[in-house]
Amino acid sequence: MRIKIRYFAYLADLVERKEEEMYLEGEWTIRKILGKIVEEKPILRRIELDSEGPIIILLNGKPANMNLKVSDGDIITLIPPASGG
């Protein structure tokens, strides 16, 4: 299956891209995909992608929990928390 990963704000800076495609075989959950992303991009270990916060995770534009299964054509969006005041 083919999915897209979109990175926003400083996450895009860390991985040096705003979007990428992944080609996967078998069944995948958000948790498993995030684990693969961190494995391929160790700089993301600084951020708690493998927990329920603080990164906002969307699946096809809707809030996603870590156990959701992903399907062909899905888009996972990773958004860091807003800062400022």
Number of domains, the chain:
1
Distant-in-sequence, close-in-space partners of 44: CB < 8 Å, separation ≥ 6: 11, 14, 15, 37, 38
pLDDT given at position 52: 47
Q: Average pLDDT, stretch 50-72?
A: 86
pLDDT tens figures, 15-48: 999 999 999 999 999 999 999 998 998 888 777 6
pLDDT given at position 46: 72
Closest CA to 57 of 6, 2, 12: 6
Note whether residue 74 is domain-resident: yes
Which single residue is written with the structure tokens 């895009």?
A: 12
Note whether residue 50 is domain-resident: yes
Note whether residue 43 is domain-resident: yes
What's the CATH code of the domain at 72?
3.10.20.30
Note whether residue 85 is domain-resident: no
Domain that holds residue 67: 2-79
Higher confidence at residue 35 or residue 83? Answer: 35
Neighbouring CB atoms inside 10 A of 68's CB total 18
**pTM (predicted TM-score):** 0.88
